[in-house]
Every structure is written in structure tokens, then in C-alpha cells.
Structure 1
Amino acid sequence: MSIRVLVVDDSSFFRRRVSEILNQDPMLSVVDTAANGQEAIEKARLVRPDVITMDIEMPVMDGISAVRAIMKATPTPVLMFSSLTHDGAQATLDALDAGAMDFLPKRFEDIARSKEEAILLLQQRVKAIARRRPFMAARPHPVATTPTRSGLSNSPLGARTGLSSTPSAAPARAVVPERRNPPRRSGKHYQLLAIGTSTGGPVALQKVLTELPANFPHPIVLIQHMPGTFTTAFAARLNSLCKIGVKEAQDGDQLRPGHAYLAPGGKQMLFEGRPGAARLRIMEGNDKVNYKPCVDITFASAAKTYGGNVLAVVLTGMGADGREGARLLKAQGANIWAQDEETCVVYGMPQAVAKAGLATESLPLPMIGEAIVNEMSS
């Protein structure tokens, strides 16, 4: 049974282009199109698609307002199309807060080296989110007051996400995972928290990081697959919502407790020095590495610098980035946690870690922040 897609865009050319690409895949079928957000709401109710692709800027009603209304009336996985600009980044993050699951740049050449790669990427993204149900319970409120925290400047992040095979679509509905107690504290000594994620990561990171206290006793590094032009907006948003400070990592940053450092897009983030006085090295990304930044590379560098005194958490994402880095950390005695399948947008990266036998815990997203605080507090 094919995955049924509703394509929403005010440009008839773009609607036709996206429809042609999706219809090339025998697992995908474009069942209808809409020219604005209001039409999208109505057709989502009538057609009941498995996935909706949505533009942001449209007449009558914009895509963000449409996503918010659709999530209330007929929750459906939504893939946003956005521009790789600062304003585009702000709007895309707003759309993710409203309930969208993922996004792609509207200019496919910005994310692919060839036409064939762009076609495959779009098809795979649609199939990846089609099987997931919108997880409304884990989404933080988009409006929050700025808590008191140490000031940090915000400055870039990003990368291309990988591809993975996906099963057929499941009916879309909001889901609330069963609440259970966080894992018992291990008593292990820590010096670093490292979090890697991809598809669905912006919302997941926001959920986890907003639960960390201002006096969190360790530095935090974040590796999120996201275009570099989005970094300033994403870091600023996290910094305004979190009690900890959040900034984009810069070469030479000294790691400080209670501060999170976001890996810059198109580059790799590593460590140098010794624990307690370590600094970040930001290096140009190698074209032979699919992910820039790459979770495996940062995790491997953490294993070399911090040994086993690391809690590494792998959140929602496509592909298997993070598995090999987690393997190196595990060999040093580090603890590895993975987000559970039920609360992932795409259960790819956490599944790779869990299947390899590396994860000591598989936790639902709403519990991860609390569990981190419980495990890593002095």
C-alpha cells in the first residue's frame, strides 16, 4: 500500500515538480495538492493523507499557521520546505514548534550534489516520517519566558542527514508514552554530556535541554544534523528557552560546566587538552564524510580526551551516525543512552546504537532530561 501525500505550495511549478518526484517512487502517491494553508487544512481533513509537504510563505494562510491547525484537527506528519536564510531558519523552527516533523531546503541543490541524489533524498525523507505519528506530548510550548542564566553569545551548526529504509505508513495520531521511573543512578563519575541527533532533533533537543538546571555540573556538546545557516537562530532559541547557556561552538572555546556548545554546520567538532581544561577544535569538514558535523567524529574525539567519563545520548535521527563513536566510548567505559522507538520521529540512529548492544538505557523523550539530571548531578 502506497504512502499518500498532500503537496502544499503556492507555486504551481513547485507543486508539479514535487509531485513528479514523489510519484516516481512506487511506495509514494500524491493524492492531492493545495495552493495555500487554508486549502491544506481542508484537504487534510477530506483526503486524510499519510504525509503533507508544506511551504512556509503562502497567501491566505501561511504554512506555520496551517501546521498548527492541522495538528489540532487531523494530526499528520508534515515535511516543511524552507529557504536557507536567517528568516527561513526562524520560520522553520517555528514550524517545528507548531508540530512539523522535518524540513528540507526548497532549493534541492543546496542539499544534494546531483539531481538523482536530491530526488532520492526527498523520497526517503517523506517515507521516513510517514510511519511516525506526531508526538505532540513531547513538544515544548513555543513561547517561554527567558530564565536567568549566565550570558553567552550565540553564533552557527548543521549538516546533511543520512538515508534509511522505512516501513509503510502508520495512521497519524498524537501519542503519549507510558510514564515510568527514570533509571536508577549509577554513581559513575562524569566530565562531559554529549548528545547526537538528526531528523526530529531540534524539538527533541529543546525538550531535553530545557529541563537542565542552570547549575548543571558538566559541559555539554550537541551534534545536530542541520544546515549551517540555521545555527544562529537555533542556538539563540535554545539559549532563550534554557536555564543553561547555549552557543554555537567556536574554535578554541574552553568547555565550561552548565554550558552547551552546538557543532557548526559544514564543520567537525573535536576536543583537545585534558578534562577540566579541554578546548574545542572546529575543523573544516571532509567531503568524504557524509555528515558535517558528524556524531561519530565528535564521540570518538570525546573518547580520546575524556575516556569513559562521558554520558553520550543518541536521539531521533535517520541513518546510523553515532554508532561507531558510541562503540569507542563504550570501550572506554562510558554510558550510552538511546531514545526509545515510540517517541522518535525516526528510529534510525538510536536503533543502530541499541541493536549494536551499546545502549545501557532506552528512554522515552519526556524522561531523558530528568534522567540526565538524576544521573549526572554531583
Structure 2
Amino acid sequence: MPISVLIVDDSSFFRVRIRGLINSHPQLNVIGEATNGREAVEKAVKLKPDVITMDYEMPMMDGISAVREIMTKQPTPILMFSSLTQAGARVTLDALDAGAVDYLPKSYENVAGGPTALKKALCEKIIAIAGQAKPRAMAAATAPAPAPAAPRKGQKRYPQRFDLVMLGTSTGGPVALQKILTQIPANFPAPILMIQHMPGSFTGAFADRLNRQCKITVREAADGDTLRPGEALLAPGGKQMMLAGKGRIRVFDGDERLNYKPSVDVTFGSAVKYYGKNILAVVLTGMGADGREGARLIKQTEGVVWAQESSTCVIDGMPSAIVKANLADETVPLNEVARRLVDVVTG
């Protein structure tokens, strides 16, 4: 049975083009359209689509308000269309906070002129979030943090100290990273590197948002940065971030043949030479398998790798790739990642 899709956009041009791209895929079927946020809520409740594509700027009710109301009345995986600007980044991050699962750049040129790449990305994302995005995972991601508690009996302990924590993620990552980092205390004794699949125009805005929300310092990484305890660096979108020495960051354009910029594998793998067994890497929610080969290198030097527990992921592709390759020392629910990090890294 085809995956049913509701398109929400006030532009008739976009609705026609997006409908054509979606309906050209044998696994997808557009079952309705809405021209404003209010109509989107009504049709989401009435039609119960498997996935909704959502614009932001619309009359009567904007996209973020519509996302919030849909997630209350008829929880549905929502894919936002976003402009690749700083303002677009802020809007997209607000939409993800409200419950949207993922986003795609919105460009008249891409839709009108060369739709092949857009069709591939659009259809792949719709299929992925329809098959795996779970309302319970989305609810878990935005639920209040659990109260601090003593380590539970049977939780794994590690003999080494951890001098570097790395977090790799993709779809669902912005909410997951926010959930984790806002629970990390200011005196956290290790530096943190974050690799999130995200456009270059988004990562600066995302780092700024996290910095305002967190007790630790969070910023977008720059070439030549040094690692400091209690500071988290976010890999810039569209570039690669790697360790160029103990505590020293290199940011560069990277090979165009790599699927992801930034790539979790690149950052994970580069840290092994300098930190060896003193690495704690966590692979969080996301499509694909980026991070698996980097995690394999970490395990070969006796570092530690965790995978986010599947039922708390928006998309469990990346963590599942770690688990299936027998690389995970632990699978940790999202709500427990920060607490486990503090417990294990601070000793």
C-alpha cells in the first residue's frame, strides 16, 4: 500500500511540482493538499496521512503553529521545506522543536529547473520517516528530562578515563543534541565534538541556539580551534572536521566524493590517532550508516561506543548500523544519554 502524503503550501506552483515528484514514485501517493496552516490541521485529522510536507510562511496559520497543533491532535511525521538562509535556519530549528522530523531546502530553481536530485532526496526522506518515525520517539525527544539519579545496578563501568566525547547524528539530531547538551553541567571535564548532518547556513544558528540554552559553551568549530573541557564544538555544515593533533581541530572542504559534509566517520576516525582508548563516541538518531566505520576504528583502539536505543530514535538507521556491526558497548535511551555521560566521564 503506497505511503500517503499531505502537501501543505500556499504556492500553487510548489504544490503542483511537489505533487508530481511524489506521485512519480511507485511507493508514494499524494492524498490531499492544504494552502494554509489551519487547513493543514483539519486535513491531517481528517485524512490521517502517513507523512506531511510543510511550508512555513502561509496565511491564517504559519507552519510552526500548524506543526504544534498537528502533533497534539494527530501526531504525524512532518517534513519541513526551508530556505537556506540564517532566518530559514532559525525557523527550521523552531519547527523541529515543535515536532517536525526533518527538512529539505526550498528553492524555486531546484523545483522548476533540475528536479532529479530534489526528487531523490524528497522521496527518500518521505519513505524513511514514514517507515520509522514514531510519535512515541518524537514525544520522548521533547519530554521533560528525568530527575538526576544514582547509577542503576548493572550499568556498565569502564576502566579508562575519557578525554574526548563525540556525538554523531543526522535526522532527529537537533532535538536529540539539545536534549543531551542542556543536561550537561558547566564543569563537565571533557571537550565534546558534535557532527550533525546540516547545511552550512544552519550550523552557526544551531550552535548559537544551543549556547543560549546550555550551561557549557557551545559554538561552531573553526579551523585551528583547540579543545577545552566544558566546551562543545559543532562541525560546520558543508565542511569536514577532524583532529589534526591532540586537542587541535582542522576544518576543511573535504573530498566531494564523500556522501556527507560533515561526516561522522571522518571526525571519529581522525580522533583515534590522538585519543585512542580515551574516546567515548555516541551515535544518535539518523538515516544511513555514517559513523559505523569511524566507530569500528574507535573499537580497534579499545575506545567506547554507544548507540542511541532504537525506540527513542526518530530514525534508527545510524544507531542500528552500529548495533548490527557489534560495535556498541551500550545502547542508551535518549533521556539517559546525558546522565550516563556525566556519570562515566566524571567518574
TM-score, normalized by length of structure 2?
0.93
The residue aligned with 1:360 is 329
Cα distance in structure 1, aligned partners of 2:185 and 2:109? 41
Q: Would the aligned equivalents of 1:270 and 1:297 in 2 still touch at CA under 8 Å?
A: yes
1:49-78 per-residue CA deviation (whole Å, 9 max, x = no partner) reads: 111000011111100000001111111110
Letter in structure 1 aligned against 2:272: A
Letter in structure 1 aligned against 2:232: A
Letter in structure 1 aligned against 2:171: T
The residue aligned with 1:289 is 258
Structure 1 spans left out of the alignment, 5+ residues: 142-179
Residue 370 in structure 1 maps to residue 339 in structure 2: yes
Cα distance in structure 2, aligned partners of 1:91 and 1:31? 27
- Compare 289-298 and 114-123 and name the one that shifted more: 114-123
- The CA deviation at 1:272 is 2.2
**Secondary structure of the corresponding residue to residue 287 of structure 1:** coil
The residue aligned with 1:117 is 117
Letter in structure 2 aligned against 1:205: L
Cα distance in structure 1, aligned partners of 2:258 and 2:13? 34
Q: Would the aligned equivalents of 2:110 and 2:118 in 1 still touch at CA under 8 Å?
A: no
**Among residues 321, 340, 343, which one is paired with 2:309 in the alignment?**
340
Cα distance in structure 2, aligned partners of 1:182 and 1:322? 27
**Secondary structure of the corresponding residue to residue 358 of structure 1:** coil
1:100-146 per-residue CA deviation (whole Å, 9 max, x = no partner) reads: 010010128679x96322211100101111122222132167xxxxx
1:193-342 matched pairs, under 5 angstroms: 193-274=165-246, 278-342=247-311
The residue aligned with 1:98 is 98
- The CA deviation at 1:186 is 2.1
Letter in structure 2 aligned against 1:138: A
1:306-348 per-residue CA deviation (whole Å, 9 max, x = no partner) reads: 1111000000111111000000010000100001211111111
**Secondary structure of the corresponding residue to residue 58 of structure 2:** coil
CA gap of 1:216–1:318, structure 2 versus 1, over 3 A, is: same
Q: Would the aligned equivalents of 1:97 and 1:140 in 2 still touch at CA under 8 Å?
A: no
Structure 2 spans left out of the alignment, 5+ residues: 145-151
- The CA deviation at 1:187 is 3.5
Letter in structure 1 aligned against 2:134: R
Letter in structure 1 aligned against 2:141: A
More helix by share: 2
Cα distance in structure 2, aligned partners of 1:319 and 1:11? 32
Q: Would the aligned equivalents of 2:222 and 2:249 in 1 still touch at CA under 8 Å?
A: yes
Cα distance in structure 2, aligned partners of 1:121 and 1:108? 16
Q: Would the aligned equivalents of 1:273 and 1:305 in 2 still touch at CA under 8 Å?
A: yes
Cα distance in structure 1, aligned partners of 2:320 and 2:108? 28
Residue 35 in structure 1 maps to residue 35 in structure 2: yes
- The CA deviation at 1:181 is 7.3
Letter in structure 1 aligned against 2:204: T
Cα distance in structure 2, aligned partners of 1:140 and 1:182? 25
Cα distance in structure 2, aligned partners of 1:53 and 1:364? 28
Letter in structure 2 aligned against 1:334: G
Q: Would the aligned equivalents of 1:308 and 1:334 in 2 still touch at CA under 8 Å?
A: yes
| Cα RMSD, aligned residues only | 1.7
Cα distance in structure 2, aligned partners of 1:227 and 1:257? 27
Cα distance in structure 2, aligned partners of 1:84 and 1:5? 24
TM-score, normalized by length of structure 1?
0.86
**Secondary structure of the corresponding residue to residue 307 of structure 1:** helix
CA gap of 1:67–1:183, structure 2 versus 1, over 3 A, is: same
Q: Would the aligned equivalents of 2:160 and 2:277 in 1 still touch at CA under 8 Å?
A: no
**Once the two structures are aligned, what percentage of the paired residues are identical?**
57
Cα distance in structure 2, aligned partners of 1:108 and 1:340? 38
Cα distance in structure 2, aligned partners of 1:256 and 1:110? 41
1:68-107 per-residue CA deviation (whole Å, 9 max, x = no partner) reads: 0111111111000010001100000000000001001012
Letter in structure 2 aligned against 1:316: T
The residue aligned with 1:147 is none
Letter in structure 1 aligned against 2:80: M
The residue aligned with 2:147 is none
Q: Would the aligned equivalents of 1:109 and 1:118 in 2 still touch at CA under 8 Å?
A: no
Letter in structure 2 aligned against 1:286: D
Letter in structure 2 aligned against 1:125: K
